[in-house]
Structures are given as C-alpha cells and as structure tokens.
Amino acid sequence: MAIVTVNPATGKHLQRYRELTATQVDAVLTQATTAFVSWRRTPLATRARHLRAVARELRKRQFDFASLITAEMGKPIAQALAEVQKCALNCEFYAANATCFLADERPEGAPRHRYVTYQPLGPVLAIMPWNFPFWQVFRGAAPALMAGNTMVLKHASNVTGCALALQQIFECAGVPRGVFQTAVVNAARAEKMVSDERIAMITLTGSTAVGRKVAALAGAAMKRGVYELGGSDAYVILADADLARAAELCAESRLYNGGQSCVAAKRFIVVAKVRARFEKLFIAKLAERRSGDPLDATTQLGPLARASVRDELHEQVQRSVRQGARLLLGGKMPAGPGCYYPATVLADVRPGMAACDEELFGPVAAIMPAKNQADALRLANLTSYGLGAAVFTSDKARGEKIARDELHVGNAFVNEFVRSHATLPFGGVKCSGHGRELGAWGIREFTNTKVISVS
C-alpha cells in the first residue's frame, strides 16, 4: 500500500511512499539483529564518535530538516529549528556521559566480589508520533544506541519523509549499517514486529489507547518497554501568584507546537479570588500570538498536523460548550485551506466535560474554577493522566511542597512551564505511561542490569 504525506498548511500532497512488504520487514529485523552482534562490542568511545558525527550532520543540515518537519506536520519553522538543535545536543550529551552512566557499580554493603554492570538488550522497536518527529526519536535513539542496542523506527505515517531522513542522517554520519533503520509499515505490520522474537524491547510515545494495545502485545511476549503517553497537565494558579507572569507562561505552554504536545498545559485551575483577573490576562496573551504560514519565522501558531486532529478538537470544544462551558475566545472552524484552528479558551470547565476529562491536542485552554488551594489540588489530580503539572505562587517554599507532595505526576514545576531536559528523567504515571527517558535513568532503561559475582 502507499502512504501519501500532506502539507497541513496548504492541503497539498507532498510525497507518495510505498510500505515495506513482509519480506522487506524480515530483512530489516534480520539486519538489526546482525548489526547488534558487532555494535554491542563496539567500544563506548567509538559509539560516542559516531553519535557526535550524527550531531554534526543534524547541525549541518538543520534548515533542511526543519523545513521538512514544517512541511509535513505544520510546526512553525523557528520551533522546528529548535527541535533539530535539541536533538544534536542530546546526542552530544550521551556521547559525553554514557561512560559514566554505564560504569560498573559496587553498591555500598555489597559483597566485595560482586558488582553490577549495564549491558545492552538487543534490537529496540521505536514507535513514534508526529508531533515532535525528530526529538521524540532522538530522545530514545541517542541513549539506546550509546548503550549498545540497535533500533528500528516505526514512525507516524504523516511524517514518513522525516522518518526516512532520520535513517539517512545515521548513514551519512557513518554509523554502521543496520544500527538504525526506518521501517515504513502500517499498524498491523508494526504489531507483528512487537511480537517478533528478534525485537528485544519497545519504546513508544503516543496516545494512551495505542500504548495500552502495544503494551499488551509486548507484555504477552515478556518484553520490556518505555511508554510516554497522553497527558492533561494541570497548571494551578494560586491567589498569591504573579498573574502577569503566570498568564504569559501558561499561554506559551498551551500554544507551543500548536498545543500538540502530551506535556503541554491543558487545564488551568484558578482559585476564585483571582480567576476573573487571570482570565483577562490569559486571553490577552493567547490572542496576541501570531497565526499564519509556518514557514514565516515570525509565526507562533501554525496549522494542526492533520484534518482529523482538527476535527476531533473542534468536536471536543462544541461538546464542552453544550455541557456548560463558556467560550471566551476562538472556537470557530476557520475557512480556507489548511488545518488551522484558532487559540481557544473555555471557561467554567468542570469534571464530566470533554475539556476536563479528555486530552485536548491543540490550541484549546480549559479554565477550571476552584474554591481554594485544597480544591485546586483536588481538581488537578482528578484525572487519569499523570505526565506533568505546575503551580504558580509567590511563596516558593509552598510551591515546592505542593510540587513534591501534592501533584501526582512525573514532572512538577513551580512558576514555570513543564518541559524536558537532556540531564533529567522524563515520563509519567497513571495513564501517562511508565519508564523514564533522558538522563542516566533514560540510558539504563535500555540495558540489562546484571549482577556479576567472582569468587
């Protein structure tokens, strides 16, 4: 079957690609297995040189790669460039630190003749989404490959050009054949790959529904996995918050990447005393964001990635209004070509409404009223998701206590919006998945923690 990519800003077809046959998939998996035999024995210093070469290739062609990201999924070009650059930094981070992260350890109190070593698992199947088509891949690929594994990428079909470009980057950087490969396959073929005995581990970023399905298949085959899934991040605005700063950061988090991010701010829970003022400031900040051609460097809000994403988002907005939410900004389907959707604000959102209970994957903000701090934290945790959350308050000690002890998420921030960093673990709890990416934690996820005893 053929895959046709579409420019979401214009609606025009970009490229046509053919899916791999069963025979071709078999060859990809065999090659990943063969490459693993030699790659796992390649010294860490040599792997690091390869990864630094990948970083150089990313930087050398960053404008080409950013333009491809923008063409296929609509990300504003300035954000696409930042994404490519972040991938290069991640490669360099693991090239510099993998030796330390994977060093043998003898825990205090352990017998003198025993120690722990970290060893690669084998070929890793990476099932990745379209919203950060380069970063999501490199977030797993850099540590997995530095740990000595090989990787096969099954990317979202609407960013197939990006998927093939990623394989080309590794090839141009001189990484040995078979260490990183892209498999252009449909979901049914990918499910068979999950169960294939040659695949040692799964890493998946995507919706909770897809994560459940893949995790069930991997679990049946007793395979490890890292799953970064959906999110409905709550940002709690307390009465003593710097409201102007909170409104600015909340607007930035809600609209970055068109609001198409699992870890974006989605529910804004505001205590009664400052709700009206925050709404006014927040709406003003959202309204001033410039929407337009994503290839224009001044554009801050581009189109959504696919027509189906926009249709689903608009249906959620309409359903929430019918359920009692107040539409304060946007909410109307624009005319003209492309998958554009305006910055939208829903107020008086409560549990039971689509805007509260479901993930809003686009530039729609749900403002939820809270009686006080206790009520705000109750509402923040009243979700099946647990990826990120933030609290805004002028009392940093109180904010830290809330972030540490009261917000049931994997990433809790005070007076700033949630985002990942190469040095720190990233992941969620509850229906937002399990396992961690990035930092020392991220590379050890892709290893067998093995005890050695010599007496």
Residue with tokens 């991640």: 90
Q: Would you tell me how many other CB atoms lie within 10 Å of the CB of residue 230?
A: 22
Could you tell me if 431 and 208 are in contact, meaning their C-beta atoms sit under 8 angstroms apart?
yes
Buried b (16+ CB within 10 A) or exposed e, 289-298: bebebbeeee
DSSP state at residue 11: -
Distance CA 202, CA 225 (A): 5
Catalytic residue of the set 162, 250, 262, 339:
262
**Positive or negative torsion for Cα 53, 56, 57, 58:** positive
DSSP state at residue 368: E
Distance from the Cα of residue 33 to its chain's centroid = 27
β-pair type (224-228, 364-370): unpaired
Could you tell me if 371 and 236 are in contact, meaning their C-beta atoms sit under 8 angstroms apart?
no
Residues with Cβ within 8 Å of 207's Cβ and at least 6 positions away in sequence, in order, are 229, 230, 359
**262 included as an active-site residue:** yes
Catalytic residue of the set 228, 358, 359, 445:
228
Do you know the residue count of the chain? Answer: 455
Number of H helices, E strands in the chain: 15, 17
**228 included as an active-site residue:** yes
357 burial via Cβ count (<10 Å: 0-12, 13-18, 19+): middle
Residue with tokens 């490669």: 91
Q: What residues are annotated to the active site?
A: 228, 262
